[in-house]
Amino acid sequence: MKVLVVGKGGREHALCWRLSQSPSVRGLFCTAGNPGIAQLAKPVPIAPSDVAGVADFAAANRIDLTVVGPEEPLSAGIVDEFEKRGLRIFGPSRAAAQLESSKTFAKHVMRRAGVPNAEFESFTDIAAARRYVEAQRGPMVVKADGLALGKGVTVCRDRETALAAVGEAMESERFGAAGRRIVIEEFLTGEEVSFFALCDGERAAPLGLVQDHKTIFDDDRGPNTGGMGAYSPLPHYDAAFEKRVMREVVEPTIATMRAMEVPYRGVLYAGLMVSGDRINVLEFNVRFGDPECQALMMRYSGDLAEALLAAAEGRIQDAVVQLAPRSAVAVVLASGGYPNDYRKGLPISGLEKIEGKEPSPLKVRWALERIRIKVFQAGTALRDGHIITDGGRVMAVTAMADDLTTAVAGAYEAADLIEFEGKYLRRDIARRGLVALDAEQR
């Protein structure tokens, strides 16, 4: 089949890479894209947000399946547009994508489905929001209802900070229209993990748990980013836990959305807070995470295109959704200054040491240790034939090995071969998993 990937970052590079290895794929296209994607897919010069333009391209080029990476085109109704024209697409409709684009909608689905989540109230009236804050004790979380580029959530340690956050969202309109409605919820503690499943409207096939690392600095300090690294699976959670997430979170959500006549098709990404026996959903996203997708695609071992087509056609049971029983780790290389101001256009070197054909002692050792390395590019571009930085998160160096310890060592060994001015990375990706393994061995 001919497949079109919508998006242009690291997540889409990973999707293109895995799709390019699907036996059923004979043509691969991607909207715009970085030089890494361009090696795998024919570039289509249409912006991912240009819903009608993407649909025109898919129709004119007889694309059999379109796969959407980012949330914006989904919230803008790209799936509705494709379905109206009888074109196959993997992702949720605009109404179902509200699971991510409206926190109030997500909360109502969770309430109706009996999915555990933080106590909350939703407000469009600032006076009512203030009265609610005044009546609370202890920390709380103020969230802009709509899409705010990951910046709409403020964890508030007391009433004063919460009142300030309410004012910023509803009065100063810091998040624009996205903050006119807000959700105020109970502050939860525990360990954050992400769960992914492929859904076909009625059923779901698990892809399992991944842990992201959201802050810029080690030990979860500093401002939030899009994600600085991820690993999968998590050695400190067992198969029984994943079954529980399917039973208590994914299946009731799918059943409820079906009953609400907004069936959910696409990737369901549940951000969870786990504390002892308690699992709470912090948020839903309607797409793969970035860089979680890079770790998952490294392990994905079936025909991805067939699986996504089956999900889009409401017959996920026909697909083999399987991940290799190995560990994958993605370490993000960022440009100095990210997530604030950073420079672009800095030359990148060292990629050929990983991806070049020449043999080297390091590559031989990786092969002997069964370490597989893949660099997924995100904010990169070409200038006069040389690769340069073109974004805050530049690439995700991803390694897979039989165990987590070996995969982490491989990922950092490879990450250290790549150089550009101001290169920054976290040094503690997967540490929670490594600490858990260490404790187990003692």
- The residue ranges that bind ligand AMP (CB under 6 A) are 118, 141, 143, 153, 155, 185-188, 192, 214, 271, 282-283
The Cα 192–Cα 184 span in angstroms is: 19
Q: Is 289 in the site for ligand GLY (CB under 6 A)?
A: yes
Q: Which is nearer to ligand AMP, 143 or 423 (CB)?
A: 143
Residue with smaller CB distance to ligand AMP, 158 or 438: 158
**Alpha-carbon gap, residue 390 to 295, rounded angstroms:** 22
Nearer to ligand GLY by Cβ, of 71 and 80: the residue is: 71
Judged by CB, which is closer to ligand AMP: 152, or 263? 152
Q: Which residue is nearest to ligand GLY (CB)?
A: 227
Q: Are 416 and 331 in contact (CB under 8 A)?
A: no
Task: Name which of ligand AMP, ligand GLY, none residue 155 binds, using a CB cut-off of 5 to 8 Å depending on partner kind.
Answer: ligand AMP
**Stretch near ligand GLY under the rule CB under 6 A, chosen from 155-163, 184-192, 288-296, 425-433:** 288-296
Q: Which stretch binds ligand GLY (CB under 6 A): 88-96, 108-116, 282-290, 417-425?
A: 282-290
Q: What is the residue type of 435?
A: V
**Alpha-carbon torsion, ordered 430, 433, 435, 436, to 10 deg:** 180
Tokens representing residue 417 in the block: 């071969």
SS3 19: helix
Measured from the Cβ of residue 431, the count of other Cβ atoms closer than 10 Å reads 18
Q: Which is nearer to ligand AMP, 3 or 97 (CB)?
A: 97
For residue 325 the two structure tokens come to 């029983």
Q: How far apart are CA 28 and CA 66, in angstroms?
A: 10
Q: Which is nearer to ligand GLY, 225 or 256 (CB)?
A: 225
Binding mask 196-235 for ligand GLY (x = CB under 6 A): ----------------x-------------xx--------
Burial letters 269-304, b for 16+ CB under 10 A, else e: bbbbbbeeeebbbbbbbbbbbbbbbbbbbbbbeebb
243: helix, coil or strand? helix
- Residue choice 98, 104, 117, 285 for contact with ligand GLY (CB under 6 A): 285
CA distance 257 to 259: 5
In angstroms, the CA 30 to CA 17 distance is: 11
Q: Is 290 in the site for ligand GLY (CB under 6 A)?
A: yes
Instruction: Give the residue among 284, 316, 292 at the shortest CA–CA distance from 228.
Output: 292
CB-nearer residue toward ligand AMP: 22 or 225: 225
Among ligand GLY, ligand AMP, none, the one that 200 touches (CB under a kind-dependent 5 to 8 A) is: none
Q: How far is the CB of 97 from ligand AMP (least distance, A)?
A: 15
Q: Which is nearer to ligand AMP, 217 or 412 (CB)?
A: 217
Residue 430: both structure tokens together: 């997967």
Residue 303 interacts, among ligand AMP, ligand GLY, none and using kind-specific CB cut-offs from 5 to 8 Å, with none
Strand, coil or helix: 405: helix
Q: Cβ 284 to ligand AMP, closest distance in Å?
A: 9
Q: Give the Cα separation of 21 and 298 in Å (integer).
A: 11
| Residue 212, contacted partner among ligand GLY, ligand AMP, none, CB below 5-8 A by kind | ligand GLY
Taking CB positions, which residue lies at the least distance from ligand AMP?
Answer: 283
CA atoms within 13 A on the CB side of 48: 22
Q: Which does 64 bind (CB under 5 to 8 A by kind): ligand GLY, ligand AMP, none?
A: none
Question: What is the nearest approach in angstroms of ligand GLY to the Cβ of residue 431?
Answer: 17
The CA distance from 113 to 119, in Å, is 15
Binding-site ranges for ligand GLY (CB under 6 A): 212, 226-227, 285, 289-290, 292
